[in-house]
Structure 1
Amino acid sequence: MARYSRIDERERLEDEAARRFLAARASGSDDDWAEAYAWIAEHPAHGVAFAKAEAAWEISGRLKEVAPRIDPEAIAGPAGRFEAVVGRRQVIAAIFATAFIGTAATVAVQKASAVVRYRTAVGEARRFRLEDGSSIFLNTNSAVEIAIRERSRFVRLLRGEASFIVAADHPAPLVIDAEGTTLQARGGGFNVRLRPDVLELTVVDGMVRVAGLEGAGSEGRGDVRVVAATQGAAIRGGSVAMTALSSMQAARRLAWQSGIVEFRGETLAQAVDEFNRYRVSPLVIGDPEIASVRVEGRFRVGASDQFIGLLSPGLGIRQVVGADRSVLLLRAPGFAPDLSEDGRNLALDR
């Protein structure tokens, strides 16, 4: 079982993170903060828990600042002032305490005014600069939550794809949570994509510590892997599979940053899925026989209509546009292209 996969393990982890944060904050000494950072570096999950503890502390401070003054007699009535004061103190204490426990800490992170949220619409890509000098480039239909503080950096990738350039002069690593997988980097550049069934990591510069925490893995700290430059990783169910990437493979994964999609032997079904990321109304393959045809070519991300137009002469595919502007792809009547192993590739260079 993966480390910190059980609820009780995560609760103990968050308790330990809160203890270390409070100890370092109380003393303010460089040695105590260095000890806290060393603990964070032991496992990516430590960074997530530490960021939650810091956010929860900030939330508790804001609650005390904004709590309205209440006339005890106005709410206590004949029962007297004492019961009203005790009741209010209990409420504040309960809020403060729950801020440090599991789910409540996550809610605190999400609601903190210091958390910045960035998103892109379908077909949009945008670059954002963070307070620490890092930058995030979001691909189509993507969203992140970011909390940059003096002693911690935390990002949650909610959906889509993001490319990170991490500033190295911050005392804490950048910790990224992506659907149960934790990534940690102190500098460098890398790309993270949430696919339907797997998380895809591409490291361009520096190194990224990876932990798939929600699924099965090896005992102890064996579920942590370090992915270096020119390497990629696929993370699913707690397993981390690493692979070396050629410069061409890495460039294809990052081509979206230049507004390009590139196909080198993908099936038509895969190409349609890729174009649909940038379309409000989807392309739909209506004939299973054409789904496995392999295609090659380079296109602008918004050029799916051009892509469809090139399919007609090569494969005899016709398109039917629906009332919702979706496009159904069908084999043209009486057309039988060569679908043998030698003849099923279609080159489309535009």
Structure 2
Amino acid sequence: MSPSSRDSSPDLTEQAIEWFVLLHSEEAGADQHGQFAAWLARSPAHGEAYAAVEKLYGDMRQVAQAAQMHRAESISKPVQTARATRHPLGAATPEFSGKTAPRKTLWNRYGSRLLQTGLAAAAVWLFAILLILPEQFHLSDAWLSDHYTRTGEQREIRLADGSQVLLNTNSAVTVDYGPRLRQVRLLHGQARFEVAADAARPFEVISDDLKARALGTVFEVYRKETGEISVTVQEHAVSVTAGDGAAAVVEQGQRILYRPGHGLEAPEAVNLKLAAGWQQRRIMISDRPLGELLAEVDRYRLGRVFITDPELAKLPVTGVFSLDDPDAILVSVSKALALRSTQLGPWWIALHR
């Protein structure tokens, strides 16, 4: 199905990306070029959307070339010394965020001047932030947190009392231990807590206005970029309290969700083997939509993965995938579902039929 065969779409940018993929594939023939011309003629906005995608593709190539000239050592803070497992794309690679069109004209207008005036490293870093970094990336982590991880990285931290924290990709915490209370604040991301016993000092994890107090030893807290927070208990129990006063005790093998504006939901049973897969650097998924899997993969790699047809995002997926090579997951899933992939610059991948 060509992009123009749909009567409407909530996002012209998505249609433009679909056309870009199609026109750069072997499937593009006279009929497709005619349909593309008709799509462009619908309104000036259609032409602007396609031009934005084309320009973004070109600018991403520019940024990639410039990034190779200005290594990350000159623009990033040295990595913390705690034990870490890094994705091959780790901290030595400039990390970028995936917004679209308006930034490109800034590079065209000012890029060469900045390179000539010695501000090249700063310019590359700026465009890196705007174009490639995962949505959950937070630039301020190095200054506002006590411990943090970058894209694709996991880190084990041993706290002063012997408790252990495993931070997942792009996560950050602060630690505040006092004489009567041990408190960890999860700023964003996902972390597993193995709590050392200390009856005189309760152990709490706070994220936004949700508080989880350990009644046992092992639990996980995950704050998504949407603001949704989940608490999953692997051993014993956790007492959870929301800002509105709602409270619940979450037992081993249960998960509770908190959604801003909707409050605290009732605890539900969860498959701990699947839920804890990330702790072994695996994604374990059982009969879940492809879109859900790709959203998880995006957390561990630079760039974005797009699905050109919303129906493809609903395809069911079951499997165990290693996080050591997120791009290999895309290859494996594409083969299993008979999908094709098109590389859009160094970091964008579009999956389609």
TM range (shorter): 0.5 to 0.7
Q: Which residue of 2 aligns with 1:136?
A: 165
Q: TM-score, normalised by structure 1?
A: 0.56
Structure 1 residue 176 and structure 2 residue 200: aligned?
A: no
Q: Which amino acid aligns with 2:258?
A: I
Q: Which residue of 1 aligns with 2:287?
A: 265
Q: Which residue of 1 aligns with 2:221?
A: 192
- Which of these residues, 204, 225, 238, is aligned with residue 234 of structure 2? 204
Q: Which residue of 2 aligns with 1:67?
A: none
Could you give the per-residue CA deviations for residues 316-341 of structure 1, whole angstroms, max 9, x where no partner exists? 3211112242211121xxxxxxxxxx
Change (3 A) 1:212 1:172: same
**How far 1:193 moved relative to its partner?**
0.9
Q: Distance in 2 between matches of 1:291 and 1:305?
A: 17
Q: Which residue of 2 aligns with 1:283?
A: 305
**How far 1:186 moved relative to its partner?**
4.6
- Which of these residues, 221, 226, 241, is aligned with residue 249 of structure 2? 226
Report if aligned partners of 1:167, 1:186 keep a CA contact under 8 Å in 2.
Answer: no
Q: Which amino acid aligns with 2:272?
A: A
Q: Distance in 1 between matches of 2:281 and 2:335?
A: 26
Q: Distance in 2 between matches of 1:170 and 1:133?
A: 14
Q: Which residue of 2 aligns with 1:309?
A: 331
Could you give the per-residue CA deviations for residues 251-298 of structure 1, whole angstroms, max 9, x where no partner exists? 111111111101101111001001011011121112212111011110
**How far 1:125 moved relative to its partner?**
0.6
- Which of these residues, 196, 200, 217, is aligned with residue 167 of structure 1? 196
Q: Distance in 1 between matches of 2:240 and 2:233?
A: 11
Could you give the per-residue CA deviations for residues 59-110 of structure 1, whole angstroms, max 9, x where no partner exists? xxxxxxxxxxxxxxxxxxxxxxxxxxxxxxxxxxxxxxxxxxxxxxxxxxxx
Q: Secondary structure at the match of 2:342?
A: strand
Report if aligned partners of 1:172, 1:186 keep a CA contact under 8 Å in 2.
Answer: no
Change (3 A) 1:148 1:186: farther
**How far 1:170 moved relative to its partner?**
4.9
Could you give the per-residue CA deviations for residues 9-52 of structure 1, whole angstroms, max 9, x where no partner exists? xxxxxxxxxxxxxxxxxxxxxxxxxxxxxxxxxxxxxxxxxxxx
Unaligned runs of 5+ in 2: 1-142
Structure 1 residue 241 and structure 2 residue 270: aligned?
A: no
Report if aligned partners of 2:322, 2:329 keep a CA contact under 8 Å in 1.
Answer: no
Report if aligned partners of 2:230, 2:258 keep a CA contact under 8 Å in 1.
Answer: yes
**How far 1:116 moved relative to its partner?**
6.7
**How far 1:119 moved relative to its partner?**
0.3
| Percent identical residues | 30
Q: Distance in 2 between matches of 1:149 and 1:164?
A: 18
Q: Distance in 2 between matches of 1:312 and 1:231?
A: 33
Q: Tell me how large the CA RMSD over aligned residues is.
A: 2.1
Change (3 A) 1:184 1:326: same
**How far 1:300 moved relative to its partner?**
0.5
Structure 1 residue 322 and structure 2 residue 336: aligned?
A: no
Q: Distance in 1 between matches of 2:292 and 2:301?
A: 15
Q: Secondary structure at the match of 2:151?
A: coil
Matches within 5 A, 1:48-87: none
Q: Which amino acid aligns with 1:240?
A: L
Change (3 A) 1:323 1:181: same
Q: Which residue of 2 aligns with 1:298?
A: 320
Q: Secondary structure at the match of 1:287?
A: coil
Q: Secondary structure at the match of 2:238?
A: strand
Structure 1 residue 122 and structure 2 residue 122: aligned?
A: no
Aligned pairs, number: 209
**How far 1:240 moved relative to its partner?**
2.2
Q: Which residue of 2 aligns with 1:44?
A: none
Report if aligned partners of 1:148, 1:154 keep a CA contact under 8 Å in 2.
Answer: yes
Q: Which residue of 2 aligns with 1:155?
A: 184
Q: Distance in 2 between matches of 1:204 and 1:242?
A: 17
Q: Distance in 1 between matches of 2:207 and 2:323?
A: 24
Q: Which residue of 1 aligns with 2:139?
A: none
Q: Which structure would you say has the larger Rg?
A: 1
**How far 1:244 moved relative to its partner?**
4.1
Change (3 A) 1:226 1:123: same
Q: Secondary structure at the match of 1:288?
A: coil
Report if aligned partners of 2:190, 2:220 keep a CA contact under 8 Å in 1.
Answer: yes
Q: Distance in 2 between matches of 1:275 and 1:261?
A: 8
Q: Which amino acid aligns with 2:265?
A: A
**How far 1:315 moved relative to its partner?**
3.1
Q: Secondary structure at the match of 1:169?
A: coil
Q: Which amino acid aligns with 1:166?
A: V
